[in-house]
Amino acid sequence: MTEIIPAIMPKTIGELDSAVALVRGAVSHVQIDVMDGKMVPPTSWPFPDFDTETAPFIHEDRGLPFWEDVNYEFDLMIRNPEKFVEKFITLGGARIIIHYESGPKEAIWGAVKKAQSMNTEVGLAIDTTTPNNVLEEFLTDEQPIDFVQFMGIARIGYQSEPFDERVIPNIKALRSEYPDIIISVDGAVNFDSAPRLVRVGANRLVSGSAIFGSENPRETIRTLQALG
């Protein structure tokens, strides 16, 4: 069965709490979209002021909302990800997603290696306009990344964006070259796109608007799982 991962763009920890409560028990992982206002224009929690707002959750050992029932993956749409990976893992990230377009290759490798050194699952995300061949060195290294996240929209950092058809052949090509790699897709994942994405090789589907914009998020998750 395809893994469905609800995506949340919280402005505050309270918004995160409310959203996770809607899907608690229906999924194993929730994705938190993290935006610093630099890589993409919007900002989301815990930016723009990371330390002030996040420190209490680290130092008081409170953990992220419903951490007993939900694993979190942080999708870091931020500049200088290598400077923040350790903080997000300490905060409770079970998976860390680094965007290839977020900085120079040295910074991307630095972020990947930091996550790996902390025994955290790490994935590399690429835009629809980025060629698959940039992934090669991250998949053939002695310690390769754990998964690839294809973005299914042209303008990242926003929800309710239209599906970008260019992602379909990109997924198909990567699945053909790397039959065992985990492929996640984030952006415009809904009842129409989900079956197509699974057919060409996606293992994980990340969905925000389709889930949280529905009247019954849990039922929507079950329906998306069945489509896969």
How far is Cα 2 from Cα 199, in angstroms, rounded to an integer?
A: 11
Are 68 and 25 in contact by the 8 Å Cβ rule? The answer is no
End-to-end alpha carbon distance in the chain: 6
**Helix 167-177 vs helix 193-200: angle between axes, to the nearest 10 degrees?**
30
Predicted confidence (pLDDT) per residue in 117-130, tens digit: 999 999 999 999 99
Residue 59 has pLDDT above 70, yes or no: no
How far is Cα 132 from Cα 174, in angstroms, rounded to an integer?
A: 7
How far is Cα 58 from Cα 63, in angstroms, rounded to an integer?
A: 7
Sketch out the chain's domains with CATH numbers. 3-227 (3.20.20.70)
pTM of the model: 0.96
> What DSSP state is assigned to residue 161?
P
Strand ranges (DSSP E) for the chain?
3-8, 29-35, 71-77, 93-99, 121-126, 147-151, 182-186, 204-207
Predicted confidence (pLDDT) per residue in 67-119, tens digit: 999 999 999 999 999 999 999 999 999 999 999 999 999 999 999 999 999 99
Are 15 and 216 in contact by the 8 Å Cβ rule? The answer is no
